[in-house]
Structure 1
């Protein structure tokens, strides 16, 4: 959500910021509703003052035995006019909110311009793509040959974009999630949470999934939503709160299933586990003071990078362009991992600084230790990392000529010492 006062102060700058995302000007429509609301409120205050004066005059008249019928008739008319003005102000506020809630966050000035992912900028790379003395296979070829990855069985149960993992690969998925949780809690200072997988409208609205992205979500028959990421419940823990400055930053993590309808992705990544309706992810969320969020963004991205390095993967950090940055984000770093079987870079983590955009929607504030009043917190979220895609990257990077998969050393304590996954 956006600060109407900032739009009012510089509408041209607001429209220029929207133009970077390829959107038309919106300040005119927003401020027109703002003018309508404020005019109705001003008129309402004037009529309330007159009504108060009339109440005093009527009281004095009755005590003096005079005729107050004309004054009472005016008071009755005023009451009807005030009800109309209240309705007008409320309608204008609803219209203004509807306009604002459909507009994405304003971008960081350093976000590169560009219409889509082709304008993303690589900031750094780590490691060299592995070389094989055989033709590397994709993860689904390896998994099916091992008998540990069953797409046909999953389709029988639930349809397309689901997977059944068995044996060593099922254990590898579990090990990845547990190891990442322990890394982030023991070494990176995040607090582990076990969160609801079903949330209400307010939670989805607070982090920006509603109303714009309802088609990307799964909804239950009682009106709840399956979470697309643990970002939703973790960030909303701060909703409606006024936090002490000394309590910040808050750093939360959770391992949870995530559910996405993948609306609009027909024909994309139909083979394998890259794009699923259900997957596991370790989520990182931070709630900070405004002046700390840029440094926290760098820190969070580094935490996700550590995961990939420990797994022996080749990765790179990318800053997303204006046209590729998500709705709630002001700046996003994507981490992409090299998949030898595909011969391509694929996104495995996104770390975003949302600044006060989500906080305004959620009503999440803090009280500065010095000074008066409250201020909105800044919120950040990132994948630390997507478990399914980490499994894909491990399987393709550490595949062997005999079809087996070497287990990265970091995971072996969580795999009972297993060094190799075979058929």
Structure 2
């Protein structure tokens, strides 16, 4: 979310930033609404001031035994006027706030220009693509043939886009999550958190899911929402706080269930585990000073890459273009892992720097040491990794001709030394 003062001071810069995202100029409309709101505020203040003057004059007139009927009538009239003006100011303020809350963040200067995912920039690749002397299968074929991945059973109880994992595949999913958490906390200084999976609307507003993307969320009858990503509760841990700048960066990680309605994804990845309504993800969140955030983005992306490297899964890193970048991001790197069964790279992590965009919505600030002034923090988030998609990648890259799955060496301690998953 943006400070309206910044738009007033440099509307051209905002229009230029939105143009990079393929959006029409908006500053003039926003400033017109802002001007109307400020004008009504002035009108309200003048009416309040006159009411106060008239009320004071009534008291003085009565103390002198003078007639105050005209002043009383004026005060009565002003009370009705003030009620209407107060409502107009509230309505305009709400309209302005809603408009500001729906504005995409401004891309960083080095974000590649483009309209869609076809314009994303490949930054680097890692790992040799596996070679097979047989036709590699997709993960759902492998899992079903093993008798440990059940989509039909899940559909009978929950509908489409759900899965039941059983036996060794359920353990492998748990092993992947434990490995990721141990890496983040043991080697990279992240604090492990077990947060709520249900949040109120202000938490979603703080991390920019609301109001623009409500259709992607599952809402409860209580008014709570199921989280779509661990970013939501982890980032909101510092909402409405003033942090000592010397304590930054703060780094949090969590394994959470994630729930997405997948609105608008009809016909996409209808088979398998790529696009489910419920899945697990290990999330990384960093809270930094403004000067730290760009280095932190590179660090966070590198940590997500390290997970794939230790699993020996080939991947590539993309810098997302302006037209494919998320609503709140200033810059995003996507990690795409190679899936032999699909013969393509698929997204497995997304790491973003949102600048102070979320911090303004959460009113989260930091205070430099020895100073009274405060400023907004910067927030970053990244998947470290999506556990289900990592499981997919392991199945497809480590498959063998007989349909069994070799277990990556780094995961074997989490699997009690087991080396291969065979048909149960």
TM category, shorter? over 0.9
CA distance in 1, matches of 2:79, 2:363: 33
CA distance in 2, matches of 1:345, 1:180: 21
CA distance in 1, matches of 2:113, 2:154: 41
Query: Hey, what does 1:263 align to over in structure 2?
Result: 263
Instruction: Give 1:11-410 correspondences, 5 Å limit.
Output: 11-410=11-410
Bigger shift: residues 355-364 or 114-123: 355-364
Gaps of 5+ in 2: none
Task: Give the CA RMSD over aligned residues.
Answer: 1.4
Gaps of 5+ in 1: none
CA distance in 2, matches of 1:41, 1:186: 54
Deviations 1:223-269 (A, max 9, x none): 21111111111111111222222232111111011111111111111
Deviation at 1:81, TM superposition (A): 2.6
Deviation at 1:372, TM superposition (A): 3.3
CA distance in 2, matches of 1:14, 1:380: 22
Answer yes or no: is the 8 Å Cα contact 1:353–1:380 preserved in 2.
yes
Deviations 1:78-134 (A, max 9, x none): 333333322222121111112111211111111111110000001111111111222
Answer yes or no: is the 8 Å Cα contact 1:113–1:321 preserved in 2.
yes
CA distance in 1, matches of 2:195, 2:71: 60
Q: TM-score, structure 1 length as denominator?
A: 0.97
Q: Which runs of 4+ in 1 moved over 4 A?
A: none
CA distance in 2, matches of 1:88, 1:149: 58
Q: TM-score, structure 2 length as denominator?
A: 0.97
Deviation at 1:370, TM superposition (A): 4.2
2:307 match: secondary structure: helix
Query: Hey, what does 2:5 align to over in structure 1?
Result: 5
CA distance in 2, matches of 1:280, 1:379: 22
Deviation at 1:48, TM superposition (A): 2.8
Query: Hey, what does 1:417 align to over in structure 2?
Result: 417
Answer yes or no: is the 8 Å Cα contact 1:36–1:89 preserved in 2.
no
Answer yes or no: is the 8 Å Cα contact 1:162–1:278 preserved in 2.
yes
Deviation at 1:294, TM superposition (A): 0.7
